[in-house]
Amino acid sequence: MLELLGLFGVGVFAGIVSTVVSLASVVSYPALLAFGLPPLSANVTNTVALMFTGAGAAAGSRPELAGQGRLVLRLGRLSALGGASGAALLLLTPARAFEVVAPWLIAGASLLLVRPPKPGHGREDALLPRIGIFAVAVYTGYFGAAGGILMFAVLSSMLDRSPAKVNAMKNVISGLSNAVAAVGFALFGPVDWGAVGPLAAGFLLGGWIGPSIARRLPGHSLRYLAAGCGLVVAVKLGWESYT
């Protein structure tokens, strides 16, 4: 019972962290390791549970998502396809390649978030950001660390919207890539279903709470907060990969 409550609490906190600064796995993955799961099982179990964060975030972000349904569907298809591709890669290949490049990707995306975009920037139908969304979704399905920050950076370069609205869209689109990857892991990966239940329940609640916090952050502070957290994660992953 204590383990179930502990996993639920971890899920709530990680769900909030995920929807505000896109770093759920930094909280939940180490917690699963601490509860005794092997690394691969912890990774796939975490991804299966994470799809409930997207569901909670969608419910909690209805004001920010109003009028954006068509765009979410168009970009969500790209994200889902990328998530499926990344999950297949994870199940078939070692993760070392992404471990080496991940710190640079996360650091670069974090630095892009530091400078707020100019009004009228980007285009919703531009090809390069769409390729970026697919590539980030592949990364999310394969490796995952700070994938939300990468998606936030790509969407920020593409959409002329407030940080809270971009963040809401990021939560839903990233949730779709996670959900597709989760289906593959559920069918073919070593998922610990006993841990999925309480963790997923916590993710659902935390994902619902997080958007109400994000929309209250003033100005571009959400971008700066995500950028700062991303740089910390990039340094941590870089240290682990290169030492």
DSSP 123: -
Write down the pLDDT at residue 200. 93
Look over the chain and give the mean of its residue pLDDT values, rounded to a whole number: 82
At 22 the three-state DSSP class reads coil
Distance from C-alpha of 212 to C-alpha of 130, rounded to nearest angstrom: 28
Number of domains making up the chain: 1
Number of helices and strands in the chain (H, E): 11, 0
130-164 tens-digit pLDDT: 888 998 888 888 766 677 888 888 888 888 888 88
Query: Closest Cα partner for 215 from 61, 92, 27?
Result: 61
Contact between 175 and 57 (Cβ < 8 Å) = yes
Cα 160 to the chain's mean position, in Å?
A: 21
Contact between 76 and 173 (Cβ < 8 Å) = yes
Write down the pLDDT at residue 193. 92
55-72 tens-digit pLDDT: 898 889 888 888 888 888
Does residue 202 have a pLDDT over 80? yes
Q: How many CA atoms lie within 13 A of 205 on its CB side?
A: 12
76-130 tens-digit pLDDT: 889 999 988 888 887 787 656 666 777 787 787 777 767 655 544 556 667 787 8
Quote the domain boundaries for residue 64: 2-242
Burial class (CB in 10 A: 0-12, 13-18, 19+), 2: exposed
- Tokens linked to 233: 């994660």
What residue has token string 């019972």? 1
Distance from C-alpha of 39 to C-alpha of 106, rounded to nearest angstrom: 21
